[in-house]
Amino acid sequence: MATHRQSALPPRRAIQPSGRIARGEVSAASSQFERGLSWMRFPPRLEKQYLNDSAPRRVRYFLISGLLALFVFNGFLLADYLMAPDVFMLAVKVRLLWFSPFAIVMLSVTWWLRHQVPKRISPQALEYLVLLSGVLAAACLGYILSVSRAPNSQYYHVGLMAVIMYGNMVQRLRFWYALAFSLMVYAIHIAGVLTVPVFNHRLLVPMVALLGATVVFTLMANYALERDGRRQYLLSLRRKNLLLDLGEVQARLQQLSRMDALTGLFNRRHFQQYLQQTWQRARHDQDTLAIIMLDVDHFKRFNDRYGHPAGDQCLMRVAQALQDKLRRPGDLVARYGGEEFIAVLPHADADIAFKAADRIRQAIADLGIAHEDSDTAATVTASVGVATCQVHADMREEDLIAAADAALYKAKQSGRNRVEVRTL
C-alpha cells in the first residue's frame, strides 16, 4: 500500500519523456526555419531525434521503392537492345549478373537489419546505401555506353536522368547526400560523353545542359521537400510538447485540487475519497481502521492575540508535526477545516492509534509556540480524539468519523491537551 505524505508543492519540473525535446530548442529551430535554414540541419540533439524518428518509415520505403527500381533498371534491357545492340550481352551481364546480385544482397541485408535502425545502426547508413546504389547504377550505364559503337548509343546518356530522379525524387536522399549523389552522376555523364567513340560533339552542350538542368531542378525539388518535411516535423513536435504540457498542467491542477494551500496537507475532499477507498479494503479484509481527529486548543484566542499571519505559521508547524509522526505506509493526514486536522490509519487497533495520537500531541506541545491567552498551557497544545474499529459490512465510515469527533469533544471537556479513544 502506498505511503501518503504531504509537503509544500515542489518547484515545477518539466517532464522529459523519451523522445521529447525541450521547448526552447524546438522554438529556436522553428525561428531558424522561418528565417531560412540554408544548411538544412536542426540543432544536434533535435537533428538526431529527427533522423531516428523518420528512420523506420524511410527503411520501409527504401525496401519497397528499391525493389521496384531494380525491376525498372533491368527493364531497360529493352532500351539496351534497341539503342546499343552491339553490347547487349554485356548489358545483360552488367545488369543481371553484376548490379542485380549486389542490389538483392543490399535489400536483403536492409530487410534483415531493419529493426536495428536506429537502435544500433545509424539512420545515415541508409543514405549511404541509396547513394551507393544510385552511383553504381549510373556507373553501370556509363560503362555499357563507353564500349558501344552503335550510332544511337550517344542518345542513351539521357538515361542518367532517370537515375538522378530516382535518388533525388523517388528515394528523396537528404539534401546534402542528394547533392553529392547528383555531382557524382553528373561527373559520370561528362566523362561518358567525352569518351564515347561515336559521340557527335555537336550534341555535347545540349546533352550536358539537359542533364545539368535535371540535376538543378531535382535538387531544388529535393530541398523544398526536405524543408517542408522538417517544418512539418517541427510542427508535429510542438504539438506533441503542447499536449505534454497540457497534461502536466492538468496533473498539477488535479494535485492542487487535492491539497490545502496553506499547510501542504491533503484537503478534506481528498481525505473523504481516500477514507472511502481504505474503508472498502478494510471491509473486504475485515481489517482494523483508526481515525485521529485533532483540534488546536484555543486557536481563536491565538489568532486574536498574535494575528492571522502568526496563526497561519502555527497551523503550518502543527501540520509538519503531524506529518513527522505519521509515517506508516497508508497513513494519510489532512486539514479538515480551520484549526482541525484529521488522519486515517489503516491496520491500526486502539493501542497503535492511541500511541500515534499521543506522539502527535506531545510533538505539538514540544513546538513551544507561545500562547499567553491559553487556559491550558503557556504554549500551543492540541486535543486529540481517536476512534477505532474492525470494519464489517454493517458499519459506515461516517460512524467512525462521528466517534472520533465525539472523542475529541470529550478531550476538550476533560481539560484539553489530551487524547481520548473510542472503540466501535
**Residues with catalytic function:** 339
Element (H, E) at 274: helix 268-285
CA gap 68, 92 in Å, rounded: 18
Helices (H), ranges, 5-123 = 23-35, 44-75, 77-83, 88-92, 100-112
Say which residue the cell 554485356 belongs to. 90
Within 10 Å of residue 206's Cβ, how many Cβ atoms?
9
Residues 416/295, Cβ–Cβ less than 8 Å: no
| Bridge partners for 386 per DSSP | 292, 421
CA gap 393, 410 in Å, rounded: 28
Residues 38/227, Cβ–Cβ less than 8 Å: no
DSSP-assigned letters across all residues of 94-151: IIIIIIHHHHHHHHHHHHHTGGGTTTTS-THHHHHHHHHHHHHHHHHHHHHHHH---G
φ, ψ for residue 274, nearest 5 deg: -70, -40
CA gap 227, 11 in Å, rounded: 38
Residue (of 353, 339, 218) closest to 291 by Cα position: 353
CA gap 52, 64 in Å, rounded: 20
Say which residue the cell 550505364 belongs to. 141
Strands 340-346 and 288-296: antiparallel
